[in-house]
């Protein structure tokens, strides 16, 4: 299957009341693993990379790898830029073939967040690509980006932000956090309050560590996408770590990489099935 356009994926999920997982990949093995896990579950979702990943390779390489990973897949999967840091990253990913984009300017004051997101939206919408933006900021660690900020999304600012930016998805801060170091305390009442005023569906970042019951209640409240990064990275790193502990002389990277693909795929399949059960 080709990489699916983000709008088509969102409409498919809305039609079948699916909650879309967005799984962060960091390398070739994790990309193949996410495709494998979603395909085995026969459920849709996103493969996503953060701007940090662009230090490891290029948007073109990531698109080519994703295309190959999806060639025998029968479930709709989009390729998403997660936490896009700059307009240049956004352009490079759209030009390379990404089918969904996040521009994250939530660290800026409101008016600057609006201005930067609007600029990225205008570029992406010209190419028929949906845009996720963030209002409010999450605590925690995302790749090597650590944020101490923890300002919850203000429902009173949501409608104005969405209308002025033209974004298609809104990432919210309701007690969710990035990474596994801090215990998330999701405020479902606040999430519902935001969903009631938001003209677009909501996104929950920091999925790892949030109880599944909370995620399912979030789906009923208006979530369309939930991001998982740490849970998958942990499976990948654990595969190599456990092998090394067992036998420091082990160096069969091919066998270990194949095991890592199976372990990450199993985690992705488990997560997408549980949040849609
Ligand atoms: O954008 C990526 C996600 O928000 C990852 O969060 O590592 O807590 O699952 P997580
Ligand atoms: Zn995130």
Is 213 known to be catalytic? no
Q: Let me know: does 7 contact 168? Beta carbons within 8 Å.
A: yes
User: Band of the pLDDT at 3, cuts 50, 70, 90?
Assistant: very high
Distance CA 71, CA 35 (A): 10
H or E element, residue 24: strand 20-24
Helices 212-221 and 253-275: crossing angle in degrees, nearest 10, is: 50
Q: Which atom of ligand 1 is nearest to the CA of 230?
A: 7
Distance CA 190, CA 2 (A): 37
Could you tell me the two tokens for 175? Answer: 């007690």
Q: Which atom of ligand 1 is nearest to the CA of 24?
A: 2
Answer whether residue 150 shows pLDDT above 70. no
Helix, strand, coil shares of the chain, percent, nearest 5, are 50, 20, 30
Position 147 scores a pLDDT of: 61
Distance CA 251, CA 75 (A): 35
Answer whether residue 264 shows pLDDT above 90. yes
Position 251 scores a pLDDT of: 85
Average pLDDT, the chain: 95
Distance CA 105, CA 82 (A): 12
Q: Which atom of ligand 1 is nearest to the CA of 228?
A: 9
Catalytic annotation, pick one of 8, 72, 74, 82: 82
First-last CA distance in the chain: 25
Answer whether residue 271 shows pLDDT above 80. yes
Distance CA 162, CA 167 (A): 6
User: Band of the pLDDT at 109, cuts 50, 70, 90?
Assistant: very high
Q: 255: CA distance to ligand 2 center in Å?
A: 31
Q: Which atom of ligand 1 is nearest to the CA of 178?
A: 8
Using a CB cutoff of 5 Å, list residues around ligand 2, an ion: 205, 227
The set of protein residues with a Cβ atom below 6 angstroms from ligand 1 is 24, 82-83, 142, 178-179, 205-208, 227-231
User: Band of the pLDDT at 73, cuts 50, 70, 90?
Assistant: very high
Q: 51: CA distance to ligand 2 center in Å?
A: 11
Answer whether residue 32 shows pLDDT above 90. yes
Q: 182: CA distance to ligand 2 center in Å?
A: 14
* pLDDT tens digits along 169-193: 999 999 999 998 888 899 999 999 9
Distance CA 263, CA 37 (A): 9
Answer whether residue 218 shows pLDDT above 80. yes
User: Band of the pLDDT at 149, cuts 50, 70, 90?
Assistant: low
263 — phi, psi (to 5°)?
-70, -40
Q: Let me know: does 169 contact 130? Beta carbons within 8 Å.
A: yes
Q: Let me know: does 162 contact 172? Beta carbons within 8 Å.
A: no
The CATH code that applies to domain 6-275 is 3.20.20.70
For residue 77, list its beta bridge partners. Answer: 45
CA 38 to chain centre: 14
**Which residue of 84, 179, 236 sits with most ligand 1 atoms within 8 Å of its CB, as the best mutation to test the pocket?**
179
Q: 205: CA distance to ligand 2 center in Å?
A: 4
DSSP H helical ranges for 44-141: 59-69, 87-96, 110-126
In three-state secondary structure terms, 180 is: coil
């Amino acid at each position: 299957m080709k990489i699916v356009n983000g709008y088509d994926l969102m409409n498919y999920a809305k039609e079948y009341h699916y909650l879309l997982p967005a799984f962060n990949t960091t390398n070739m093995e994790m990309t193949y693993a996410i495709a494998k896990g979603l395909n085995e579950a026969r459920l849709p979702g996103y493969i996503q990379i953060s701007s940090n990943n662009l230090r490891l390779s290029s948007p073109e390489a990531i698109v080519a790898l994703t295309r190959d990973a999806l060639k025998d897949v029968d479930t709709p999967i989009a390729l998403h830029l997660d936490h896009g840091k700059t307009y240049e990253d956004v352009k490079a990913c759209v030009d390379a073939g990404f089918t969904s984009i996040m521009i994250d300017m939530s660290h800026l004051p409101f008016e600057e967040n609006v201005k930067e997101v609007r600029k990225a939206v205008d570029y992406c919408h010209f190419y028929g690509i949906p845009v996720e933006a963030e209002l409010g900021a999450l605590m925690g660690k995302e790749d090597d980006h650590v944020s101490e900020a923890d300002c919850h999304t203000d429902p009173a600012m949501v409608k104005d932000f969405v209308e002025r930016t033209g974004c298609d998805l809104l990432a919210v801060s309701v007690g969710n956090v990035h990474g596994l170091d801090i215990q998330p305390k999701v405020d479902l009442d606040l999430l519902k309050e935001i969903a009631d005023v938001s003209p677009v569906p909501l996104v929950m970042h920091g999925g790892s560590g949030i109880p599944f019951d909370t995620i399912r209640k979030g789906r009923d409240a208006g979530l369309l996408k939930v991001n998982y990064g740490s849970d998958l990275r942990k499976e990948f790193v654990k595969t190599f770590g456990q092998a090394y502990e067992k036998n420091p002389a082990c160096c069969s990277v091919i066998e270990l990489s194949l095991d890592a693909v199976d372990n990450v795929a199993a985690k992705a399949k488990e997560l997408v099935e549980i949040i849609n059960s």
